[in-house]
Structures are given as C-alpha cells and as structure tokens.
Amino acid sequence: MGETPCVSLLKATKTPKYRARIVALKEGEDDYEQPLSPGARFFHEPGYNVYIIAQMGVKDPIDVDELKANIPIILDKYRCFSRLAVTDKNGNMRWVPTRVNVDDHVIVPKIDPNMESADKFVEDYISNLTGSCIEYSKPLWDVHILNTKTSNGQGTYVLRAHHSLGDGMSFINLLLSYSRQASDPKALPTLPVNKKSHHHTTRVTNFISFCMVVWNTLVALVLFVFTTMFLKDTETPMKASNGVEDRPRRIVTRSVSLDDIKVVKNAMDATVNDVIVGVIQAGFNRYLNRRFGENNKPVPENIRLRAMISYNMRASTNVEAPSSNAVNEHETWGYKVGYILLPFNVKYRSDPLDYVREARAIMERRKASLEPFATRFYAKLLIEKLFGMKVAGKLNRKVYYNTTFCFSNIPGPKQRICFLGQEVTYVAPSLYGIPSALMIHVVSYVDKVTFILSADEETIPDPQKLCDDLQQSLQHIKCSVLAKPCVEN
C-alpha cells in the first residue's frame, strides 16, 4: 500500500527515455502504442506541468479493498491509465502500455483520530500534494483515501492525474459512468443542458447575423493572438508573478444555493452562467477594494482583467454506461478544447444587478461567435505548420501570464449519486501547475453550486476571504432582485 508522497518541485520530473518497448499488456498489441496528441504534449512542456486534482466526499467510510477490486475493471475500459509517458531519442513523446500495480496508485495515509480539525487536515493534505508530482516511471495518476469524518461526510477521495491524460469533461464522464442515481441504483446520472448558452448552438439566421458572427470571431481571435505576444492585463494583487506554476497552492471551496442563483436567473432572463460570471465580477470588486485599501491605494480605473477558459469541444456530453470494450479515445477521451478569453468588469456598481446585466451582454457576444473553434485552429496552426511544440508552448504559457485567472463552469449531476455504491456528498475538481495565480472552478451538484478556488498563496494569501466576497456578492444581488420583483419589465 502506498504512503503519502514527498514534496518535490513540479519542474524537476523528467520523462524516461524510450527504449524499444515497455511491458505490453498482451501479445501482439503493438498498435496500442501511440504518440501524444498536441494538446497532451503541451502539458509536458517546461513551465506547464499541469495536474488535475479532484476531491469527492462520500457519506460513509471508504472501503479500500473494494476500490482496489474495481480499479482493474476501470483500467480495462480506460486504457490511458495503463500507459507510461516516454520520450524517444529524438525527443518525441509516446504513450506506451505497461502493467499497473494497483498498490502503487492507491495511497492511504495514517490519520490521527484525535486531530483538531479534519476539514483543515484534508485541505492541508491537498495543499501538500500540489507541491509534488508523480514519477514518470509509472502511469501518471493516483488516488488518495482519507477516511476521516469531515463536515461533508465520513470519507474523502482525492484523485490526482496528469492533465495530459485527458481534459476535465473526460474525467467527469469517467466518474459518472461508474455512478448511479441514489434514488435508482440502475439509472445513470444526468447532466443539465443549457442550450441557450452553448457555443455549438450559434445560429446564423440572416446576412446581418452572419456578419456579426464573423466579426465577433475575428475580433476575439485578434485579441487572443495579441495576448500571446504583448497584450497584458492590469497589474493587480491578483496577477501572478514569475514562477507561480512551481509553487504549492491552497485549494478552498464554498457552496451556495442553486435556488438563489435561479432566483436571479429567472428574474433577469439570464442563464445560470451569466449569474455566476456576474457574481464573480462583483466579488472581485470587493476583494480588490480591500487589497488596494490595505496599502492605502485607490483601485485603478479601467482595469483590464480577463479569464482564460478552456472550452469543451465535444458535440455531446451525455453520460454513457461502461461496456466491456475500451473507450474510443479519439472520440470520447483525450484533450478536446478550444480557448476563450473572457473579460471581467470589476468596476464598482451602485446597483448590484448591473454586474449580471454586463455579464449577460458579454456572454451574448461570445455566443454570437466561433471563438473556441478559431483559437483551437490557431493553436494547431502554430504547432503543426509554423513553429512547432516548443515555440507554441511558450506562447501558450504567455497567454496565462498575460491574463489574470482561469475559469471553468462545469454542470454536475442533477440527482444525488452513488459512486461504487457510496453516496457522494460533493465533488470539487481543480488544477495545479498552471502559470496563473488563481483558478476558479464552478460545479453544480443537485441543489448546490460550489466555487473551488486554487490559489497561489504568495499572490492571494487569503483565498477564504475571496470566497466570502463571492458568497456575499450573490446575497446582495439576490436581495436586489427581491427588492425589484419586476427587474427587466
């Protein structure tokens, strides 16, 4: 059984050199060896060694033996977890199959039953993990089992995996495919679908709308290209300094009521995503006013503050039950995203509802464009036709350094779910190793929306206060709506 990993610098790990063949799973499986996709290769470039780290709370203590018994079943379907990332003599990287020793990947640390705060222990444990990396001598994932009673349940899974294995939606679908609705053990979970906010539903109804889509796409692409070269956000206390990708992070969560968000959504004819973006804008205004005030400085006028968003390019997000066949990784797994640069207006507004109105206007412009498709094409053009991986990797990191934070809004299951027979109380995915001081994931689950902040404490020493600002901003916006029952009419 594994032990708690020691801390090592993220940038220190190197991939093993490729030799003729690593251990094959079966005789004659040579076609299973594959080169890394350009998207996956990005995550092995210097300064961009990114890991997904996800918490999942369960109602009862976790049965470690049952988990170990199920892992080979999962590996048989998702074979990317049975591969090594290796480098050949020419510097090319390939996925090479190997046999997996489950005990090397399931970590069960010894826990003091008399600890003062189990919640603080889990938070500190995860923070410690964000300063370490997984050795390339084994597949790049592990699962940490923390069987201690917290405010969210009796046990906590902590899944850590290198981002080159797949994007966020890949991992969400893996989790949900092995889950069932708590109320119906035979039914798969379902995800909410908001067609109004989906880029794939961008419609061209006439010549004017066609021109608007073309124009918005062109403007977005030009701004993205400029950002890879020189266009920077305003220097604020939230802006990262050099070396941020190699520092440990503090990951904190805060849950709010989904009904509160829907009250605002319905009153203002907006989407849930519009409201969330408005809440973040208002929360950032509160946070920056406090941080600048600590140094007796006014908040600068006309702050340029943008989020880097990875946008899911899959045509479908349906949850599929696992079968006896391995997944078709070219279609359902891997790294299939485009990029969006989303501006956030953090000016003070006397009417809190203005933050949501502005967010709705910004999102409407994004929906009337093909920005993620254009930026994905631009990234592939840089890699395959113009400069190659090294230059493209540097430009990619520059986008993160020139913007302020990363943002992701992931719809979670509408029903309570059970994973391997255990009821899940919350799910909180995040990242570390990114060249940004702040990453905000927003995940819905049943009647809650959870903000997950991954913060560099050197830049943002008080991420819990930022959570307070987000929560209070939602309450102010909701109170403003209740005070004006006919907001838009």
Encoded amino acid at 346, one letter: V
Chain-centre distance of CA 313, in angstroms? 15
H/E stretch holding 340? strand 337-343
Exposure pattern of 196-229 as b/e (b: 16+ CB <10 Å)?
ebebeebeeeeeeeeeebeebbeebbeebbebbe
Closest CA to 467 of 245, 166, 223, 251: 251
Give the burial class of 116: count Cβ atoms within 10 A of its Cβ; 0-12 exposed, 13-18 middle, 19 or more buried: exposed
> How far is 73 from 322, CA to CA, in rounded Å?
10
**Residue 103: count of CB within 10 angstroms of its CB:** 11
> How far is 21 from 98, CA to CA, in rounded Å?
10
Say if CB 339 and CB 366 are below 8 A apart: no
Give 67's strand partners. none
> How far is 428 from 58, CA to CA, in rounded Å?
12
Which residue numbers are catalytic? 163
> How far is 261 from 245, CA to CA, in rounded Å?
33
H/E stretch holding 290? helix 272-294
φ and ψ of 439, to 5 deg: -125, 125
CA torsion 176→179→180→181, rounded to 10°? -70
In the chain, count H helices and then E strands. Answer: 12, 16
> How far is 312 from 367, CA to CA, in rounded Å?
14
Q: Which residue has the tokens 């030799």?
A: 19
Residues near 98 by beta carbon (within 8 Å), at least 6 away in sequence:
22, 23, 25, 82, 83, 84, 138, 139
Q: Is 406 left (phi over 0), alpha (psi -120 to 50) or beta?
A: beta
SS3 of residue 192 by DSSP: coil
> How far is 380 from 375, CA to CA, in rounded Å?
9
Return the sign of the alpha-carbon dihedral for residues 14, 312, 460, 107: negative
